[in-house]
């Protein structure tokens, strides 16, 4: 299955998972310290939808944001 929305082009983005340890200053500690940073991916919420395209019915991979916005006419 494709990882890109066929309507708006939304796809996978990258980011970081940050691990922090320690007691915050507000609670009486010396503050939070970053102890680990690892790469991660954020995937779009994609659904397979049967939709009207060019006078016919076609199966599309569409993100839920496009479905909610009404950019797709379901078959």
Per-residue pLDDT, 71: 94
pLDDT, tens digit, for every residue of 16-56? 999 999 999 999 999 999 999 999 999 999 999 999 999 99
How far apart, in Å, are the Cα atoms of 69 and each of 49, 61, 64?
Answer: 14, 15, 8
Q: Is residue 1 predicted with pLDDT exceeding 90? A: no
Place of tokens 């009486």: 28
Q: Is residue 2 predicted with pLDDT exceeding 90? A: no
Paired tokens of 66: 């496009």
pLDDT, tens digit, for every residue of 54-75? 999 999 999 999 999 999 999 9
Count CB neighbours of 69 within 10 A.
11
- Largest interatomic CA distance in the chain: 66
This prediction's pTM:
0.77
């Amino acid at each position: 299955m494709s990882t890109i929305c066929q309507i708006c082009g939304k796809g996978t983005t990258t980011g970081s998972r940050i691990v922090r340890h320690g007691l915050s200053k507000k609670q009486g500690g010396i503050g939070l310290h970053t102890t680990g940073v690892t790469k991660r991916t954020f995937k779009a919420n994609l659904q397979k939808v049967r939709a009207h395209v060019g006078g016919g019915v076609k199966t599309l991979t569409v993100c839920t944001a496009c479905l909610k916005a009404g950019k797709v006419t379901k078959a």
